[in-house]
Amino acid sequence: MSFRSLFVKIFLCFWLAAGVVIVALNVVLWISTASDPNPERRHGAFGEALNLYAESAVQVYDREGPQAFEQYAGRSRKEAGSEIDLFDGYGHPIAGPSSPDTAAVAGEIQQTQQHVSHLTPLGRLTWGRAVVAPSGKTYIFVTRLRQPYVPRHLPPMGIFLTVIASGIIAYLLARYLTSPVKKLQSAVQSFAEGNLAARVTPELGNRKDELADLGREFDHMAERIEALIDSQKRLLADISHELRSPLARLSVALELARKNSNEKAAPALDRIEKEGDRLNKLVGQLLALTRLESGAEKITPETVVLEDLVQQIIDDANYEAKPQHKEVIATHLEVCRINGSPELLRSAIENVIRNAVRYTPSGGAVEVSLRWKLDTAELTVNDQGPGVPEAELKHIFEPFYRVSEARERSSGGAGLGLSIADRTVKLHGGSIEASNSATGLRVTILLPLAPNHNQHDAGQPQAAFSPASLASG
Amino acid sequence: MIPVLIIDDDVELTKLLEEYLQGEQFDLSAAHDGPGGLEKALNNTYSVIVLDVMLPGMSGLDVLKQLRQKSSAPVLMLTARGSELDRILGLELGADDYLAKPFNPRELVARLRAILRRTTNSTPSAAMPVHIADLELHPESRSVTCSGKPVTLTGAEFDLLYTFLRSPGKIISREDLTQAALGRPMSPMDRSIDVHVSNLRRKLGTYDGNHERIKAIRGSGYVYLLPGEQP
């Protein structure tokens, strides 16, 4: 738990407040009583009453004899619950002693000539003092009070225990106040991670305060977002199906037309086919981009062996580039493990490499390198094309952005590949950047490495999971 | 005429295909939903079944799963472009090949011919059984046993294994493997051979626990390792 968390703050505030009050109160009381020079007065009215009690008991014995004293003591015991023992000036018992404690107290008084009070742990007070009777005789009076003796300030141990107890209460209070915040936080986190079904109200029980209101508002919001995303996903699937079905029919009809027509129609039919392909590609890219931007695309992260993925993409790109006398070369491939979706990463990197191939003149080569630094994988794709004017560099990742109308058309790009790459890389927590190099355009992709990146080369290939890593070994 | 069944909910498309395929000597029957297609596929004999993954009522993958329990008829899957997962699942469930929709009908014909070539030419009567380590492959019965236990392979997987076993220890490129196992040239971005290899690995298991039989060589292809020949 962070030291700056709400829980710690509330807990410390409560505890500090309670502790300060307890300590201050006791200090004030202690000062006011400890500074009083008269020891009897330290007990206040209670002390005065005890003094009177002692004097009257001694007077009864001194004036009226032992019998009257017994009566007096009996009444005391019955009505006030207190035992009275009387000793002579040398500490020898006259009446009592009712317990060895009182005898010990009498001895103490005889020696110190001061009044003594002992508080037993159970709150029983043994109190005594020497009393000079009117007759001049000295008596030692000791009483044991059943009534608990309430001190007006706590001993240090008591203060300590009270502070601990207030700490426990502060802890419980802080937990009561912050636990819904914690639950809300974990629900929001889970929602942000893509669990659109995350709700907080069932967790809060029947709480009915402002925090519970906040939880309900969150649930309300989550419900709306979930419904929106669901409908968007359905819409995407429907569009995908509805746009492609006519395209599928178109291509079959086209082939039928080709069979039933003569040579003259061939160029036009070729054109129809080409445009159909273009439309189809565009629909696919548009759907991919919409999925990425709407957040409907959910990554189930798995370990991606990036160097194998890149190598495969290079192999595939070479397959396509060879007929145009172009080449894709891996200049440097370092071992890189990252977490992400192999399919999405494949299409992102493929788009960047294909784009590079497109602008590289016949006979040229695209250079790809993969390195890692600290916790980042760096993939650079260098083409030998004409590059992009500096001012337009940052726009090339925008959908349908065209650097040069004429050139783009002849190269047949739809203008969405780099946008898809950009969104995909960002979805993986990375960044993508374009710059002009000595030979042409350089696109640099940075992706965070997986935490287990350094555990590679353990002998066995990573148990693999995707077509991307199937060829690893 | 070669009997072919297509299971696809797009009625107009199947009509067009029927007309087109007629010219290519295919006799196309159509079913427009999962249960109907499954019934037709099980009750008739077709040389190839073309199966769309997106079907109303019952998904194409479910149809394939149920079909494979009773029939080993070759299946060509139609998947949505970009839906890599459907392809992998389909191939894993025992489809022989896939084609992304919308497709060029010429490509469809080429794939159908490739599948037919494989399934009809695959009985070279004089072929000798191959025996490597614990593995035995009988070309005439198209059966495979591993440590004496029979292994059930799809047509493509059998052809792939046969290709490997004819040159064990040698690297075979993915292009050559695609040609040999699927009867067609590899197309760019084509991952089906990798899925078939992975299925084969899973079905055959490893040498004494942890040594892979088939190893991927980056940038080159795959190699079937002999026992003890571990890199």
Nearest-by-Cβ selection for A241 from B54, B195, B197: B54
Instruction: Pick the residue of B191, B200, B217 with the most A CBs within 10 A to test the interface with A by mutation.
Output: B191
pLDDT exceeds cutoff 60 at B156: yes
> In this predicted structure, which of B159-163, B209-213, B220-224 has the lowest mean pLDDT?
B209-213
Give how many domains chain B has, as a whole number. Answer: 2
Whether B14 and B117 share a structural domain: yes
- With CA atoms as reference, report the closest residue to B144 among B164, B129, B156: B129
Q: What is the CATH number of the domain that holds A215?
A: 1.10.287.130
- Between CA A72 and CA A76 the distance in angstroms is 6
Whether B201 and B163 share a structural domain: yes
Distance from the first to the final alpha carbon of chain B:
50
Domain span including residue A323: 302-470
Q: What is the band of B84 on the pLDDT scale with cuts at 50, 70, 90?
A: low
Tell which of A117, A138, A153 closes a domain.
A153
Domain span including residue B191: 130-224
B230 occurs within a structural domain: no
The pLDDT of residue A35 is 56
pLDDT top residue among B83 and A20 = A20
Active site residue A395: no
The pLDDT of residue A465 is 38
- Between CA A247 and CA B100 the distance in angstroms is 12
The pLDDT of residue A469 is 37
A13 occurs within a structural domain: no
Whether B18 and B113 share a structural domain: yes
User: What is the Cα B188 distance to its own chain's centre?
Assistant: 18
User: What is the Cα A463 distance to its own chain's centre?
Assistant: 32
A457 occurs within a structural domain: yes
pLDDT top residue among A260 and B81 = A260
Whether B113 and B35 share a structural domain: yes
Residue located via tokens 């009270």: A162
A328 occurs within a structural domain: yes
The pLDDT of residue A413 is 56
Chain A and chain B share a number of CB contacts under 8 A equal to 88
A174-181 long-range contacts (CB < 8 A, ≥24 apart) are: A174/A7, A174/A8, A174/A10, A174/A11, A174/A14, A175/A7, A175/A11, A177/A10, A177/A211, A178/A5, A178/A6, A178/A7, A178/A10, A180/A204, A180/A207, A180/A211, A180/A212, A180/A215, A181/A6, A181/A211
Q: What is the CATH number of the domain that holds B146?
A: 1.10.10.10
- Between CA B112 and CA B99 the distance in angstroms is 10
Whether B107 and B43 share a structural domain: yes
The pLDDT of residue A462 is 40
Per-chain mean pLDDT for chain B: 84
Pairing relationship of beta strands A125-132 and A116-119 according to DSSP bridges: antiparallel
SS3 A414: coil
**Spatial contact of B139 and B129, defined as CB atoms under 8 Å apart:** yes
A440 CB-contact burial (10 Å; exposed 0-12 / middle 13-18 / buried 19+)? buried
**From first to last of its 473 residues, what are the pLDDT tens digits of chain A?**
566 778 888 888 888 988 888 888 888 877 766 555 444 455 567 777 888 888 888 888 888 888 888 888 888 888 877 888 888 888 788 877 667 777 888 888 888 877 777 766 555 678 888 888 888 888 888 888 765 545 555 677 877 888 888 889 889 988 888 888 888 888 899 888 778 888 888 887 777 888 888 888 999 999 999 898 888 878 877 777 788 888 889 999 999 998 888 888 889 999 998 888 888 888 888 878 877 776 666 677 788 888 888 988 898 888 888 888 999 999 988 888 898 888 889 889 998 998 899 888 888 899 999 998 888 999 999 998 888 888 888 888 888 777 665 445 444 555 788 888 998 998 888 999 999 888 889 999 999 998 877 654 443 344 333 344 333 33
**Spatial contact of A87 and A93, defined as CB atoms under 8 Å apart:** yes
- With CA atoms as reference, report the closest residue to A200 among A208, A209, A191: A191
Residue B184 has φ and ψ, to the nearest 5°, of -145, 160
- Between CA A170 and CA A207 the distance in angstroms is 20
- With CA atoms as reference, report the closest residue to A396 among A412, A416, A426, A369: A416
- Between CA A67 and CA A73 the distance in angstroms is 10
Give how many domains chain A has, as a whole number. Answer: 3
Entry field: residues in chain B: 231
A316 CB-contact burial (10 Å; exposed 0-12 / middle 13-18 / buried 19+)? buried
Instruction: Pick the residue of A245, A247, A252, A280 with the most B CBs within 10 A to test the interface with B by mutation.
Output: A252
Distance to chain A for B128, nearest Cα, Å:
30
**Spatial contact of A321 and A311, defined as CB atoms under 8 Å apart:** no
Q: Mean pLDDT across the stretch B65-87? A: 80
Chain A residue numbers touching B107 (CB-CB < 8 A): none
